[in-house]
């Protein structure tokens, strides 16, 4: 705590000139209160300082897989008609295995979304988190700036 204060205490807020500034990550941590029952709450000030969230690589893709699967199932006759010209074998297989075919299409869609989310988390989100951890916040006026 005193270390953190020494480290960031000298940073001057470019907005109001106050030296009462703090690392965003420390300020965020301090704004979380754990109650007697273990319930955690965060102040409105701390809420603004939350780190950028990663993309869901599981729940959201699962939703997409479900939606695409259902959509495929109900649009199957339309899809089969379109496939018939280029891939007649696939079209007839689709027609005779509607549930499996829809599930496969859904799973593929979900996997693609999951892969793109993982890619986002590994690159863009890592950069966002890095920038967030370097942030400084003014405890007097709430202005945020970088070291």
Least distance in angstroms from the C-beta of 65 to Zn ion: 47
Which residues would be at the binding site for Zn ion (CB under 5 A)?
Answer: 13, 15-16, 18, 138, 140-141, 143
Q: Using the structure block, give the residue that is written with the tokens 């199932």.
A: 73
Least distance in angstroms from the C-beta of 18 to Zn ion: 5
What whole-number distance in Å separates Cα of residue 61 and Cα of residue 57? 6
Phi/psi class of residue 7: alpha, beta or left (left: φ > 0; alpha: ψ in -120 to 50)? alpha
* Comparison of 55 and 139: residue with beta carbon closer to Zn ion: 139
Q: What is the DSSP letter of 10?
A: T
* Comparison of 15 and 116: residue with beta carbon closer to Zn ion: 15
* Comparison of 69 and 135: residue with beta carbon closer to Zn ion: 135
* Comparison of 14 and 119: residue with beta carbon closer to Zn ion: 14
Least distance in angstroms from the C-beta of 79 to Zn ion: 59
Q: Which two tokens stand for residue 101?
A: 């075919």
Q: Convert 22-36 to b/e letters by CB count within 10 Å (16 or more is b).
A: bbbbbbbeebeeeee
Is 140 exposed, middle or buried, given 0-12, 13-18 or 19+ CB atoms closer than 10 A?
middle
* Comparison of 105 and 138: residue with beta carbon closer to Zn ion: 138
Least distance in angstroms from the C-beta of 17 to Zn ion: 7
Least distance in angstroms from the C-beta of 15 to Zn ion: 4
């Amino acid at each position: 705590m005193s270390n953190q204060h020494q480290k960031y205490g000298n940073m001057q807020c470019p907005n109001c000139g106050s030296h009462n500034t703090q690392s965003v990550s420390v300020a965020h941590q301090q704004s979380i209160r754990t109650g007697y029952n273990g319930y955690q709450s965060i102040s409105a000030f701390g809420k603004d300082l939350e780190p950028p969230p990663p993309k869901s690589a599981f729940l959201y893709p699962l939703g997409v897989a479900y939606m695409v699967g259902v959509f495929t199932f109900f649009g199957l006759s339309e899809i089969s008609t379109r496939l018939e010209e280029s891939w007649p074998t696939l079209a007839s297989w689709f027609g005779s295995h509607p549930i499996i075919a829809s599930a496969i299409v859904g799973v593929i869609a979900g996997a693609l979304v999951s892969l793109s989310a993982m890619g986002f988390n590994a690159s863009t989100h890592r950069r966002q988190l890095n920038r967030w951890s370097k942030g400084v916040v003014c405890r007097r006026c709430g202005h945020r700036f970088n070291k």
